[in-house]
Amino acid sequence: MDWWAIWLIVGGVLIILEMLTLTFYLLWLGIGAVVAAVVALLPAAPDNFVLQALSGGLVALLLTVYTKPLTRKFRQSQGFKDAIDDMVGKPGIVLEDIVDGAPGIVKVGSETWSAISKHMLHKEEKVRVISRGTTVLEVQKWED
């Protein structure tokens, strides 16, 4: 199989995965792979994998660096709301004990998350989300 076809397949897979994550990082990598495919089609570089990879990588890097302020501005714009931020204040249930210094597992809605707490929480206790990190929720015991 020719390199241009491999690069197009990789680019297509990355762009499809981007549609599932909505982070823009996989999109930039996908576009970089498409650029590498175009470079592979050039008569001067059909078998030069290093040139193809460097050109695709450079495009992905430039897109990541120069669009970061744009995506940050988009996220801070009026009316934009991250769905995960809506979790703060929601009730959940402990699925795996949470001890001080070690995360446990909680279920909030239909999703399971790693969670930490300032107090020991046992399985089946009802909790409330008080904040979230990138992948870890901070919870506390539910108080009516």
The domain in which residue 123 lies consists of 83-141
Least Cα distance to 3 among 31, 45, 32 occurs for: 45
Tell me, yes or no, whether 19 and 59 share the same domain: yes
The CATH number for 105's domain is 2.40.50.140
Question: In Å, how far from its chain's centre is CA 112?
Answer: 16
Residue at a domain's end among 76, 92, 121: 76
Q: Tell which phi-psi region holds residue 124, choosing left (phi > 0), alpha (psi between -120 and 50) or beta.
A: left
Per-residue pLDDT of the chain (144 residues; tens, 9 = 90+): 888 999 999 999 999 998 887 677 899 999 999 999 999 999 877 788 999 999 999 999 999 898 888 777 766 666 656 666 678 889 999 999 999 778 999 999 888 999 999 989 999 999 999 988 778 899 999 987
Residue at a domain's end among 55, 76, 97: 76
Report how many domains make up the chain.
Answer: 2
Tell me, yes or no, whether 19 and 71 share the same domain: yes
DSSP 80: -
Tell me, yes or no, whether 102 and 124 share the same domain: yes
β-strand partners of 139: 129
CA-to-CA distance for 35 and 32, rounded, in angstroms?
5
